[in-house]
Chain A
Amino acid sequence: MADSSIDVRYVANLARINLSEEEVERFGSQLTGVMEHIEKLSEVDIEGIEPMSHANTTSNKVRPDEPVESLAAQGFLQNAPDQASGQLRVPKVVDA
């Protein structure tokens, strides 16, 4: 946890976001400041402490296996940027 700089362009690619040169520089310097603050956590003794991913300790709730009403396909498709034949349409992914 020593180096506080983030390779913004590399991470932006992981997050599938295009950034301008200006954004890469600006976010880089702003996030370095944030990461320097975050380094505070290395002071804390976490030996033997369980991680808490959630405020409620319920797990694996099951419900009766009964069909219930859900949204019709048209409900989902009404906001689609592009659709055809009741399906979402995107640019060609696989070359024939």
Chain B
Amino acid sequence: MLPTKRAASSVSQKSLTLKLSRYMSLAAQSLSSLRRQLTTGEISPRDIIEDAVSQISARDGDIGAFISSEPETALAEADKADLSLPLGGLPIAIKDNINVEGSPCSCGSKFLSGAYTSPYDATVIKNLRAAGAIPFGRTNLDEFAMGSSTENSGIQLTQNPAAPGHTPGGSSGGSAAAVAGNFIPAALGSDTGGSIRQPASHCGVVGLKPSYGRVSRYGLVAFGSSLDQIGPLTHTVEDTALLLNAIAGVDPRDSTSLDAEIPDYTEGLDQGVAGMKLGLPKEYFTHGIDPQVRARVESAAKALEAQGAELVEISLPHTEYAIATYYIIAPAEASSNLSRFDGVRYGNRTENPKDMLSLYTDSREAGFGSEVKRRIILGTYVLSSGYHDAYYLRALKVRTLIKQDFVQAFEKVDAILTPVAPDSAPKMGAASGDPLKNYLADIFTISANLAGNCGISVPLEPVDGLPVGLQILGPHLGEQTILRCARAVEFL
């Protein structure tokens, strides 16, 4: 990563990156920097994969970002790479809940670990391949993406590369640690309630949750289908834009994907924030935020104001109901989605079941970890007869109000600035045993999933050595605006 106090203009940033690139391992560099070196022939795609392989084998034993990787497949693809394509020859790590044909996909769960090989490519993987990229390495996650520290993985723990002994955040903690730990130039994650943005913030990388429908969910193992989106985790905002260019688009296999124009997201990144109206929601700057995290966010806002943005206080009055709404809707959808893990068609089946019912109940008992069981119980309960209207239907109505808050806010402002999480990365084990405490820490990220908006986390100056991100929320399909704003923050 670059030093926290960075050069003021993009020109000097580029020359700095070029100078540093001579000393940085290839796997540690940005996609755009690698792309330049590939184009001039200084390096080959094989060089990058070989470096990633050696970095992982030398150092990932201490970090635990990767669950599996298949160097031979990736090297073979590297030798065939078409460098004329936008991501030609560039390796991208993939969260282990996205299907890559011929590769194991564990979802961080004992249910699938060692028992499932993807028979097809997710649409995002097809799109990455079409852009020339090479999927390489499967990253750790909270089981079925349920959690915010990656400690709910049924496979392994992941350390925060920026602060060993601390969690990387989650659920895309492996993807964030893979990039922050300089094992791979970029990664894909998934975000249902903050699972890209929060680990990006905790590890000091850029992470984008696209607007609902911007990216196809086909081949992402479903958690909350009305909330899930796949998105990039990268070293730079430009790299996030490059990856979004490749993965965005409508897909006949995902009826919720949108047939909306895909702009070139790398264009206009450097236009700055002059004239932009940036909202600061008063409900997000109250109690419960670490004062230093709050100070970082406020000083970033001031710096953008100094560059010509107008800061506007706004209100998102239903914020206090977002956690309750989310923890009805997400578990309800999860309980339905995870009913497919029944031990019949795939995954680990209990040995010698005495009948059909015990095949289901025992396979699910052995395969799922505590957090997944807890959420299935909660989701099943709020959907069960007698409680459906009181909880689930009520939550869907409050969701409408939360969305209306954002619609009204975006009539006044172009983007919204908030913290990503109330604190920097917690120590490993700090919140285990208290699920409600973990859920409450999702307060700043979950509303974007409920409303379907886009959001990005971009690194600010660390607090006591721990990375902290700024969240920039945009309206539905407002990715260009928040990328431009994030780019300005990157150069503060």
Contact = CB atoms under 8 A, between A and B. Distances in A.
Interface of A: 1, 6, 8, 11-12, 14-20, 23, 26-27, 30-31, 33-34, 37-44, 46, 49-56, 58, 61, 63, 71, 75-76, 78-82, 88, 90-93
A70 to B, nearest CB: 9
Interface of B: 115-117, 119-120, 211-213, 226, 252, 255-256, 258, 318, 320-321, 323-325, 327-328, 335, 339, 342-349, 353-362, 364-365, 368, 370, 373-374, 376-378, 380-381, 384, 390-391, 393-401, 403, 434-436, 439-440, 451-452, 476
Contacts of A91: 353-356, 359
A36 B258 CA distance: 37
Given A40-B321, A54-B256, 19 more contacts: A8-B377, A11-B380, A15-B339, A16-B357, A16-B361, A17-B377, A18-B365, A38-B327, A38-B328, A41-B328, A44-B397, A52-B396, A63-B252, A75-B120, A78-B117, A79-B346, A79-B347, A81-B344, A81-B347
Query: Nearest 3 A-B pairs (CB), nearest first?
Result: A55-B452, A51-B396, A75-B119
Most buried by B among A17, A30, A42: A17
Contact of B258 (A15, A20, A56): A56
8 contacts: A1-B390, A6-B377, A11-B381, A18-B361, A34-B378, A51-B397, A55-B213, A90-B356
Contacts of A39: 324
Nearest to A49: B397
Contacts, number: 171
Contact of A40 (B324, B357, B362, B451): B324
Most buried by B among A8, A18, A82: A18
Contacts of B394: 41-42, 44, 46
Contacts of B359: 90-91
Contacts of B325: 41
B321 A27 contact: no
Given A38-B327, A50-B397, A81 B348 contact: yes
Most buried by B among A11, A19, A31: A11
A11 B377 contact: yes
Given A27-B373, A41-B321, A90-B359, A34 B436 contact: yes
B120 A54 contact: no
B262 to A, nearest CB: 16
B391 to A, nearest CB: 7
